[in-house]
């Protein structure tokens, strides 16, 4: 049975999909996670970080799949900041955080590396289950068109190049819905692609991969919004997706 989906296009000069942070290295995953999309939708709806139960409920209902219309390249951003004793930075815990230590510890700069995607274009099909609960898919669509606050893709500097919401689509699964959407890049860019790689959850069938070839990937893309940490493991499939007859050759 075909189900209603919203179609989003994630396109920005720089995007970050999160990932494991080790010391001062902040990676980016290949694909947007459930928590990232919940953050975008929640921001559009006007949710705050303190609306933890609402965000948790939204994440529990979210079903989505992705397709890379342009694979892009990873970019490493080297950041250096001179932080003095009285300098403070705001945190996600809604309180300022400063530095400790003796005077000599402030002689060196704080160095860190942040990784981004550049020239990467991702098409997303998403739905909410059960569909009759609030917020509805129509309410989410309206919020994405008229967001309560400015939207960003991963990190605050990653502003979208165009409105995120492309329209609505239907499909038996989220991957089926995204497969029916024309590529969001021009023909010249499409010809440079090895193939339109897609990403979909194992449980959401069918999976219209080319010749049913795919690999299983295990991710931890769901956040516990109450404790504010990611946890658990979800099974996803990654494979090439056919957009037209020539992709099947």
- For every residue of 4-29, DSSP letters joined together read EEEEEEEE-SEE-----EETTEE---
pLDDT higher than threshold 80 for residue 23: yes
- Please state at what angle helix 137-145 crosses helix 34-45, rounded to 10 degrees: 70
pLDDT digits (tens, 9 = 90+) for 84-120: 767 777 666 667 777 676 666 667 777 889 999 999 9
pLDDT score, position 186: 63
pLDDT higher than threshold 50 for residue 249: no
Summarize the confidence of residues 4-13 as an average pLDDT: 97
CB atoms within 10 A of CB 102: 7
Q: State the chain's mean pLDDT as an integer.
A: 88
Tell me the two tokens of residue 45: 């709806």
Identify the domain containing residue 164 by its residue range: 3-20+28-72+118-248
How many alpha carbons lie under 13 Å from residue 33 in its C-beta half-sphere? 23
pLDDT score, position 248: 38
In a domain, 59, yes or no: yes
pLDDT score, position 232: 86
pLDDT above 70 coverage of the chain, percent: 87
Question: Residue 68 CA to chain centroid, in angstroms?
Answer: 12
pLDDT digits (tens, 9 = 90+) for 33-86: 999 999 999 999 999 989 999 999 999 999 999 999 998 999 999 988 877 767
Rg over CA atoms, the chain? 19
Element (H, E) at 39: helix 34-45
pLDDT higher than threshold 50 for residue 245: no
Tell me the two tokens of residue 146: 């008229």
pLDDT above 90 coverage of the chain, percent: 66
pLDDT score, position 154: 92
In a domain, 172, yes or no: yes
- Could you tell me the CA-to-CA distances from 81 to 26, 108, 146, 161 in Å, in that order? 16, 9, 35, 28
pLDDT digits (tens, 9 = 90+) for 135-168: 999 999 999 999 999 999 999 999 999 999 999 9
Pairwise CA distance, residues 85 & 76, whole Å: 28
247: buried, middle or exposed (CB in 10 Å: 19+, 13-18, 0-12)? middle
In a domain, 86, yes or no: no
pLDDT score, position 92: 65
Give the count of domains, the chain.
1
Residues in Cβ contact with 230 at an 8 Å cutoff, skipping those fewer than 6 apart: 35, 220, 221, 222, 223, 224
In a domain, 91, yes or no: no
Using 50, 70 and 90 to split pLDDT, how confident is the model at 244?
A: low
In a domain, 104, yes or no: no
CATH of the domain at 13: 3.30.70.2660
pTM for the whole structure = 0.87
pLDDT digits (tens, 9 = 90+) for 77-90: 998 887 776 777 76
Do the Cβ atoms of 76 and 88 come closer than 8 Å?
no
pLDDT digits (tens, 9 = 90+) for 169-215: 999 999 999 999 988 776 555 555 545 899 999 999 999 998 889 99
């Amino acid at each position: 049975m075909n189900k209603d989906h919203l179609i989003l296009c994630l396109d920005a000069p720089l995007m970050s999909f999160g990932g494991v942070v080790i010391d001062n290295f902040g990676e980016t995953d290949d694909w947007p996670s459930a928590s990232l999309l919940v953050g975008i939708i929640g921001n559009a709806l006007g949710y705050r970080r303190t609306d933890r139960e609402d965000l948790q409920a939204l994440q529990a209902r979210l079903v989505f799949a992705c397709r890379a219309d342009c694979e892009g390249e990873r970019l490493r951003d080297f950041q250096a900041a001179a932080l003095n004793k009285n300098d403070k930075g705001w945190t996600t815990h809604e309180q300022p955080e400063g530095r400790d230590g003796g005077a000599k510890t402030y002689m060196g700069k704080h160095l860190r590396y942040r990784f981004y995607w550049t020239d990467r274009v991702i098409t997303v099909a998403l739905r909410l289950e059960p569909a009759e609960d609030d917020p509805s898919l129509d309410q989410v669509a309206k919020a994405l068109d008229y967001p309560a606050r400015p939207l960003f893709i991963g990190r605050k500097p990653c502003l979208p190049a165009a409105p995120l919401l492309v329209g609505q689509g239907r499909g038996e699964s989220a991957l089926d819905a995204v497969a029916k959407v024309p590529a969001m890049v021009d023909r010249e860019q499409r010809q440079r692609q090895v193939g339109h790689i897609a990403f979909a959850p194992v449980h959401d069938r069918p999976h219209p991969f080319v010749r049913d070839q795919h690999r299983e990937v295990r991710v931890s893309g769901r956040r516990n919004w109450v404790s504010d940490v990611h946890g658990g493991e979800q099974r996803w499939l990654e494979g090439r997706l056919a957009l037209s007859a020539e992709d099947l050759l």
